[in-house]
Structure 1
Amino acid sequence: MRARFLSTLRVLKELSKALIFFFLFVIAVPVTLGMVLEIPAATILSFLASTFILQAAAPPLGGPLGLSPVTILAVMASFSFGVVLAILEVCESLALTSERVSRWIAKVGKKMEKYPAIQKYGAVSCTLIAWIPGIGLYGTPIIAWILGWNRWLAAVFTTVGFVIAAAFVIFIAQHIKSIEDVFILGVVGAAGIVILVLSGKLARKKVG
């Protein structure tokens, strides 16, 4: 009974920390920044809602709200940092309440021993993982947690990747003026993917 009580307290502690991180970095810091820059709280909250849904694709919606690119990136950086820390705390609480989750973590950890490259770069990898479609901002901290990376470093590097992606979106939105630009960008992107795929195949052949 006492063990269960202590376990419940630990879970509540982790969930409380998640709520604190979420409120502090996702809401309080951006709204405070808006107050300093004389931007209405409603405007900041509207952009945060867009960021919550669209993630790194949200910057173009900041312009019509009257937000500068620097403000957009600052708000998104705080949002990212808070979300990552909150998700990590939620994952920790799940591990405390579920033996199945704990066993799954141990199993994944053993499998990852086969990939020393990932272990070598550790939390720095979050910068690139945050760019992967289907994983993005919300999936990256889960991967970092499973692999046992330092949560603060994971939050920092995930935020770096997220902000870089957002800055790229801002750049594209400001410089694409015609259908031809979109076509050229698509061709370049497709060429890059083809090169990566071919490079991967050649590398595997050399290893084999």
Structure 2
Amino acid sequence: MYIPNQFQETDRTVLYQFIRDNPFALLVANGSTNEAPLATHLPIELHTDARGEWQLVGHLAKANPQSKRLGSETPALAVFSGPHAYISSSWYDHVNVPTWNYLSVQVTGLTRLLDSDETLELLRQQVDRYEVDSRCPVSVASMTEAYVRKEMRGVVAFSMQIGTIQGAAKLSQNRDDKNHAAIVDALTQQNDFNANRVAEEMIKRR
């Protein structure tokens, strides 16, 4: 991903936390040279493997054609997106072009398919994570293992070893204090969740 130097985020701790906070990602995998890439939106978790190395794990429907492109050391790309907002040039004290502020992390690596026990453990962990705030939380443990394993026939789970990881935090770092403050003020006044979050990140990272 193209990232000008002033917008690069290189702190691995920050990048890993960003993935944890924004797990709903876009997974992209190539096919043969005459096939277009396939992409799927899905939650992807950040885990460590048995050797303590960081990896991404997730699952998608077996009926999804992309599932056939995973495994066998297939290279893939995972894109994690955070808050983003339009930046109007009318907020500056000088003539300039409008732009867009955003946060994003991209990970590339090789994939492998998980076996049935690894898939079951992934499903347990994912359900527990996303049910934690439910009024009446459910869990894989509350279902019979026979039922869960039957349902697992319809999914393909995978892991992706992290080969490269890049972070972009485009937050008007190239603006002087006066114009930076004006952008923050304009974003804060908007009744928009993303705009407000971008303003918070701009203040935090200034």
Report the TM-score, using the length of structure 1 for normalisation.
Answer: 0.23
Q: Which has the higher helix share?
A: 1
Report the TM-score, using the length of structure 2 for normalisation.
Answer: 0.24
Q: Which has the higher strand share?
A: 2
